[in-house]
Amino acid sequence: MAEKIVLGLSGGVDSAVAAARLRAQGFEVHGLFLEVGLGGEEAAQQTADDLGIPLYIAHRREAFEQQVCAYFADSFRNARTPNPCVVCNPLIKFRALTDYADEIGAPYIATGHYARTGRDAAGRALLLRARAPKDQTYMMHRLPRKTVARCVFPLGESAGKDEVRENAREIGLAVADKPDSMDICFIPDGDVHGWLERHGAACPPGNFVDEQGNVLGRHKGIHCYTVGQRKGLGVAAEGRLFVHELRPETNEVVLSLEDVFRKEIEVQNVHYIAPEYAENGAFSCEVRVRFSKRSDRATVYPDGDSARIVFEDAVRAPAKGQSAVLYDGDIVIGGGFII
């Protein structure tokens, strides 16, 4: 008898190809669409019908608004730069998948993420970087190890999105050329500032100041800026200005002629997928301070659910609220929020 697997089915090309690959591998695939008030059920149902798999609708709108949207708005109010997917994956998306998998007796769950899993010498589950340049493990570093142990990522060995789209065309999937989804699913038009204003999270205008406190001009609200930003400032100076710091307590945006680099950062609410790395104190690894391909060598000094990270070379613009994600080669160790 085929083993059951619950796949997050969004109606996009990645999850559709993931479903087709799982079915070809002999799994009994059950689709799950996460309904959070953004629509898309029809596209997911069409894909499920095309593939001949059942689709379950998991209603999580209230939880999504309370745990993801509220976090997003609160971050901007407090001059932090949020990563909504980092919060959504463990609290909403993968929880819905595991809940339904438990309900129907499916040992595995799957998504169309570009990531891989493996086991170490002791048989413990590992979350691994994807083979493709579009590695999405940065957004998944807060998953519990027990969840990772159940995960299957059919796109993890893919060369990239072009290969996946070509695979979709070969299969005859209608979504083969469907545009990619937006980075922030609940802001489909990309207007973050407009969304914040509509949700009462926009901050009032205030002063641009230099590092000595001299007023340089007026800003539109600290929610419009992030550390390291250099475009859209509208302040004349003798050289290019950078956002050096955000001060919510005084509603000031600090500008500097010097770019922002840090040799050391602190993180809190650290989550370890592979806690054995931190069991004996400080350890060396690679660290990503934003969702990008770049990693920097550093030493991590764990301290309970916090940690101090000291880089070999200073890194550019680590922003408060972003995640610092720890890697040992392809292995995702874990990560925390930059403070």
Q: What's the pLDDT score for residue 8?
A: 97
Phi, psi of 118, deg, nearest 5:
-160, -170
- In 168-282, where do the E strands start and end? 206-209, 215-219, 242-247, 252-256, 261-272
Predicted TM-score (pTM) of this structure: 0.93
Q: In the chain, where are the structural domains located?
A: 4-171, 203-256, 261-338
Q: What's the pLDDT score for residue 182?
A: 66
Q: How far apart are CA 218 and CA 204, in angstroms?
A: 11
CATH numeric code, 4-171 = 3.40.50.620
Q: How far apart are CA 126 and CA 327, in angstroms?
A: 11
The separation between the first and the last C-alpha atoms of the chain, rounded to the nearest angstrom, is 50
Residue 187 in contact with residue 82, Cβ under 8 Å? no
Return averaged pLDDT per consecutive 10 residues of the chain, 339 residues in all: 93 92 96 94 92 96 96 92 95 98 98 96 97 92 98 92 89 81 83 89 92 93 91 87 93 93 96 96 97 93 97 94 97 97
Residue 129 in contact with residue 116, Cβ under 8 Å? yes
Q: 203-256: what CATH class?
A: mainly beta
- Side chain identity at residue 172, one-letter code: G
- Side chain identity at residue 158, one-letter code: S
Triad 208, 292, 72: Cα angle to 5°: 55
Chain centre distance of CA 192? 16
Residue 128 DSSP SS3: strand
- Side chain identity at residue 11, one-letter code: G
Q: How far apart are CA 280 and CA 140, in angstroms?
A: 24
Tell me the HSE value of 267 on the side-chain side, using a 13 A CA sphere: 28
The burial class, CB within 10 Å (0-12 / 13-18 / 19+), for 35 is middle
Q: How far apart are CA 274 and CA 306, in angstroms?
A: 15
- Please choose, from the candidates 129, 134, 127, 48, the residue with its C-alpha nearest in 3D space to the C-alpha of residue 94: 127
Q: What's the pLDDT score for residue 271?
A: 98
Topology of 261-338 in CATH?
Answer: Elongation Factor Tu (Ef-tu); domain 3 (2.40.30)
Residue 146 DSSP SS3: helix
Indicate which residues carry an active-site annotation. 88, 185
Residues 6 or more apart whose CB falls under 8 angstroms from that of 182 comprise: 188, 190
